[in-house]
Amino acid sequence: MSAEFDGLVAVVTGGASGIGAAIAAELGARGAQVAVLDRDVTGAADGVFGVVADVTDDASVRAAIEAVVEHFGRLDIVVNNAGIGAQGTVEDNPDAEWQRVWDVNVLGMVRVARAALPALRRSPAAAIVNTCSVAANVGLPQRALYSATKGAVLGLTRAMAADHLREGIRVNCVNPGTADTPWVGRLLSAAADPVAERAALEARQPHGRLVSAAEVADAVAYLASPRSRSTTGTSITVDGGLESLRLRPA
């Protein structure tokens, strides 16, 4: 029996850890040939084509996408997932920090898309999926810089969907809530009592637990697949109800 992504090639940025690693695994399990573009590919799964590149470096992004296309002969799916966090109000982060995080979270996606578009135009099943966040849609305290970057990702997703609709390239994003990844693990381990902090974080989620990276990956796989061929310029939120519901945990 043929798998959903048989014959298709996907590149996943930030695919060596957390949500990106789950996306790489999910697309691979569904038959895609997967390349992981990451500044550190040591955590990438066996069987993926790992390419070291930093999304803040245009030349390295171009070289990485060229290497993927040369290796597999095509490129069909781009998952723009690499991203970094930032905490604080607008008074807490100097301009240089705004520029550093923006360079990864927003311009990084622009660079990867720009490098990949020529190959995507040759694909009969082209899709870009950007990892955005609920932070694009709700006001989270102490997340001014991070939320601004994810708001930009949402706008970028919609505008690119309009620009490339007639070329047959769909562009969507996924909005995870708090997901159980090494990133969140790092934040928790910095707390005075990591176990209590995790319990408190879980209790703040409407469904009482963190979102799993695999759940996010499943939504990305749908948006990357021709099953969602009528869906572009929009997002799927995977957050246990955090964004839409006004429930307090029981």
Nearest CA to 170 out of 90, 96, 227 is that of: 227
The 34-63 contact track toward ligand NAD, x by CB under 6 A, reads: ----xxx-------------xxx-------
In terms of CB distance, is 7 or 244 closer to ligand NAD?
244
Return the structure tokens found at 160: 């690119």
Euclidean distance between CA atoms 181 and 198, whole angstroms: 12
Please say whether the dihedral angle defined by the alpha carbons of residues 56, 58, 63 and 69, taken in this order, is positive or negative. positive
Query: Is 146 among the residues known to form the active site?
Result: yes
Minimum distance between the CB of residue 245 and ligand NAD, rounded to whole angstroms?
17
Residue located via tokens 């990864």 = 104
Q: Are 104 and 56 in contact (CB under 8 A)?
A: yes
Q: Which of residues 76-105 bind ligand NAD (CB under 6 A)?
A: 81-84, 104
Identified binder of ligand NAD from the candidate list 18, 28, 50, 206, rule CB under 6 A? 18
Return the structure tokens found at 87: 């905490």
Catalytic residue among 146, 198, 228, 237: 146
Euclidean distance between CA atoms 219 and 174, whole angstroms: 7
Euclidean distance between CA atoms 189 and 80, whole angstroms: 27
In terms of CB distance, is 168 or 207 closer to ligand NAD?
207
Return the structure tokens found at 205: 């989620």
Q: Which of residues 182-241 bind ligand NAD (CB under 6 A)?
A: 182-184
In terms of CB distance, is 22 or 161 closer to ligand NAD?
22
Residue located via tokens 């950007």 = 130
Minimum distance between the CB of residue 2 and ligand NAD, rounded to whole angstroms?
30
Number of chain positions touching ligand NAD (CB under 6 A):
28
Half-sphere exposure in the Cβ direction for 102 (13 Å, CA): 13
Q: Are 204 and 249 in contact (CB under 8 A)?
A: yes
Identified binder of ligand NAD from the candidate list 133, 225, 228, 235, rule CB under 6 A? 133
151 is a site residue for ligand NAD (CB under 6 A)? no
> Which range, of 8-16, 93-101, 157-165, 218-226, touches ligand NAD by CB under 6 A?
8-16
- Which residues are designated catalytic? 146
Residues that bind ligand NAD (CB under 6 A): 13-14, 16-20, 38-40, 54-56, 81-84, 104, 108, 131, 133, 176, 178-179, 181-184
